[in-house]
């Protein structure tokens, strides 16, 4: 009898242990619920603000897809990458540079590119790409980028693809900078002083005030600012095309749900729904266009290879 009781206790203990292990494993294992689609938004503003503004988008997508939708807003871009890598999110709205990293290190792909109101060759157009430009004061003696060796430069941000990555790649193409081994290019090897102004307008104002000798502007700034900058400066070099923001989707998502998700995002380009995207992505949003990773991110991947620069925030 005693032996039977012992065996019963052992059996119960084994079952409890198995259940505990199963529960712990379930907690750690990335969830791929058949009911919930999780979409991450790369933080470009206060995460709490994004979450508040994303509630209408969540309802819109849920209705079109026919499944519950959750919005995930991490504090850094790297958290989006990790969530894609481990299957904790199914899709993500991201800038082009983080998108290139996501495609390279996770099992995901670009499915949509943002169509924006941008300036290309002085004209306002709706496109998935744009260019950026090196500018100087109109009365300066600088005619080429090569003339600015030892001068002062302002860039909007070290994680700006159009304001830093692409301009650095152009300097490599012109033989003004060189990537040495695993070290990324360093603009201070060419310019005497390098500043990061925090935005295109700040760098433009620094140029006009005479605090720097050259800066960069882009075709995806507000059109009013673009016109003012172009009317009061002189372009000496340009680079591009620069890809717009993307929707990246995990390849683990089943094809039927993926198509519903893509179609729902495309519908956000209709005039009556655009406000949902304008408040989350940018005020320049017009719609979404179907693109592959190679089609949309090809030029950017080349800029990354030329410079060795890393997106870090």
C-alpha atoms less than 13 angstroms from C-alpha of 70 in its C-beta half-sphere: 14
Q: What is the reported pLDDT for 88?
A: 93
How high is the pLDDT of residue 15? 36
CA distance 176 to 32: 49
Q: What is the pLDDT of residue 250?
A: 96
Alpha carbon distance, N-terminus to C-terminus of the chain: 66
CATH number of 129-243: 3.40.190.10
Rg (CA), the chain: 24
pLDDT in tens, 225-244: 999 999 999 999 999 999 99
pLDDT value, residue 313: 66
Question: What is the helix (H) or strand (E) element at residue 239, kind and residue range?
Answer: strand 234-243
Q: How far apart are CA 128 and CA 241, in angstroms?
A: 9
d(CA 45, CA 51): 10
Provide the pLDDT for residue 23.
Answer: 33
More confident residue, 47 or 141: 141
Whose tokens are 């700040």? That residue is 202
More confident residue, 6 or 259: 259
pLDDT tens readout for residues 187-209: 999 999 999 999 999 999 999 99
Least confident of 1-10, 207-216, 268-277: 1-10
**pLDDT value of residue 34:** 61
91-95 mean pLDDT: 95
Q: What is the pLDDT of residue 97?
A: 95
pLDDT of residue 281: 81
Q: Is the pLDDT of residue 58 over 50?
A: yes
Instruction: Determine the pLDDT at residue 29.
Output: 41
Topology agreement, domain 36-116+244-295 and domain 129-243: yes
What one-character-per-residue DSSP string does 197-227 give?
-SSHHHHHHHHHTTS-SEEEEETTS-HHHHH
- The partner residues of 120 in beta bridges, in order of sequence, read 123
Give percent of the chain above pLDDT 70.
89
pLDDT greater than 90 at residue 24: no
Span of 12-21, 98-107, 167-176, 177-186 with lowest mean pLDDT: 12-21
Q: What is d(CA 29, CA 259) in angstroms, rounded to the nearest whole number?
A: 26
56-62 long-range contacts (CB < 8 A, ≥24 apart) are 56/276, 57/268, 57/276, 57/277, 57/280, 60/264, 60/268, 60/273, 60/276, 61/37, 61/261, 61/264, 61/265
Instruction: Give me the pLDDT at residue 19, please.
Output: 34
Cβ distance 288 to 113 under 8 Å? yes
The pLDDT, as a whole number, for residue 49 is 84
Q: Cβ(112)–Cβ(295) under 8 Å?
A: no
Element (DSSP H or E) covering residue 58: helix 55-65
The CATH classification of domain 36-116+244-295, taken from the options 3.30.1360.120, 3.40.190.10, 3.40.50.2300, 3.90.45.10: 3.40.190.10
Report whether pLDDT(25) > 60.
no
Contact predicate 308/184, CB 8 Å: yes
Could you identify the residue written with the tokens 């030892």? 150
- What is the residue extent of each domain of the chain? 36-116+244-295, 129-243
- Min mean pLDDT across 34-38, 96-100, 136-140 is at 34-38
Residue 8 has a pLDDT of 42
Quote the pTM value.
0.85
Give Cα separations from 61 to 51, 54, 110 (angstroms): 15, 11, 18
Tell me the C-alpha distance between 283 and 181, whole Å: 40
Q: Counting beta carbons within 10 angstroms of the beta carbon of residue 46, is it exposed (0 to 12), middle (13 to 18) or buried (19 or more)?
A: exposed
pLDDT digits (tens, 9 = 90+) for 32-57: 446 799 999 987 777 788 888 899 99
| Mean pLDDT for the chain overall | 89
| pLDDT the model gives residue 89 | 95
Longest dimension (CA), the chain: 103
Cβ neighbours, 10 Å, residue 137:
15
CB 126 within 8 A of CB 192: no
Asked whether the predicted pLDDT for residue 7 surpasses 80, the reply is: no
Q: What is the pLDDT of residue 44?
A: 72
């Amino acid at each position: 009898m005693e032996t039977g009781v012992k065996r019963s206790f052992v059996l119960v203990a084994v079952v409890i242990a198995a259940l505990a292990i199963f529960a712990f494993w379930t907690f750690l294992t990335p969830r791929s619920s058949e009911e919930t689609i999780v979409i991450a938004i790369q933080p470009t503003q206060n995460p709490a603000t994004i979450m508040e503004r994303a509630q209408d988008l969540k309802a819109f997508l849920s209705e079109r897809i026919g499944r519950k939708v959750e919005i995930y807003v991490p504090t850094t871009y790297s958290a989006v990458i990790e969530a894609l890598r481990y299957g904790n999110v199914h899709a993500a709205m991201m800038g082009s540079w983080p998108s290139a990293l996501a495609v390279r290190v996770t099992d995901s792909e670009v499915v949509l590119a943002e169509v924006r109101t941008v300036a290309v060759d002085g004209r306002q157009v709706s496109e998935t790409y744009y260019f950026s430009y090196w500018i100087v004061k109109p009365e300066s003696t600088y005619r080429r980028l090569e003339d600015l060796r030892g001068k002062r430069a302002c860039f909007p941000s070290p994680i700006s693809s159009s304001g830093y990555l692409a301009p650095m790649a152009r300097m490599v193409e012109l033989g003004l900078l060189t990537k040495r081994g695993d070290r990324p290019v360093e603009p201070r090897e060419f310019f005497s002083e390098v500043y990061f102004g925090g935005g295109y307008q700040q760098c433009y104002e620094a140029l006009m005030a005479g605090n720097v000798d050259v800066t960069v502007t882009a075709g995806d700034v507000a059109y009013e600012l673009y016109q003012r900058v172009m009317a009061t400066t002189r372009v000496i070099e340009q680079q591009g095309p620069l890809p717009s923001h993307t929707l990246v989707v995990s390849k683990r998502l089943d094809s039927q749900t993926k198509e519903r998700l893509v179609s729902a995002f495309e519908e956000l380009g209709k005039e009556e729904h655009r406000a949902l995207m304008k408040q989350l992505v940018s005020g320049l949003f017009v719609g979404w266009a179907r693109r592959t990773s190679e089609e949309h991110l090809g030029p950017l991947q080349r800029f990354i290879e030329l410079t060795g620069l890393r997106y870090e925030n």
